[in-house]
Amino acid sequence: MPEQIGTTTMKAIAIASVALGLMGPLATPSRAQQATEVQLTYAKGQFQPAEISAPADKPIAIRVKNLDAKAMEFESKSLRVEKVVAAGSEGVVNVRPLKPGRYEFYDDFNEKARGALVVQ
C-alpha cells in the first residue's frame, strides 16, 4: 500500500539522517584549535621549499604564495584538498588535524611541480 511505502521511506530517510547527523561532528576539522600556519612559495614552476613540516593532531593552514605569472592549483589526494591560486597572489589551504606521516601535494596544472608535507 502507498502508505506502507511512505512509512518505510520516511523511516529509512530518518535513519540515514540520524546516521549522518552523528557523523557531523566528525566531518569537519576542529576550528576551535588554533591552526598551525605553514608558508609555501610557488615560483618558476616549483614549490619552495619542496618539503614542509607541521605538528600532528592540530589543524594546519598552508599559505601558498604564487609568484609566477600564471595560475597554479595546489592539490593533494592524501590531504583531500585543492585550491586554485591566481598569478601573483596567495591562498590559504585549511587542512584537518593529521596523523603522523608524509602527505604529497602538487600543482595540478604542472606535472613537474611536486612537494610534501611531513607531519610529526
Residue among 9 and 53 whose Cβ is closer to other proteins: 9
Residue among 12 and 50 whose Cβ is closer to other proteins: 12
As measured in angstroms, the least distance from the Cβ of 44 to other proteins is 20
Residue among 51 and 82 whose Cβ is closer to other proteins: 82
Beta strand pairing call for 101-107 and 60-66:
unpaired
As measured in angstroms, the least distance from the Cβ of 69 to other proteins is 21
As measured in angstroms, the least distance from the Cβ of 18 to other proteins is 11
Binding site for other proteins (CB under 8 A): 1-2, 4-5, 8-9, 12-13, 16, 19-20, 23, 26-29, 75-83, 95-96, 98-104, 106, 108
CB 99 within 8 A of CB 119: yes
Instruction: Give the separation between CA 116 and CA 102, rounded to whole angstroms.
Output: 7
Instruction: Give the separation between CA 86 and CA 109, rounded to whole angstroms.
Output: 12
Minimal CA–CA distance to 118: which of 46, 40, 44, 43?
A: 40
Beta strand pairing call for 60-66 and 36-43:
parallel
Q: How far is CA 62 from CA 14, 41, 55, in A?
A: 38, 10, 13
As measured in angstroms, the least distance from the Cβ of 28 to other proteins is 5
Residue among 19 and 32 whose Cβ is closer to other proteins: 19
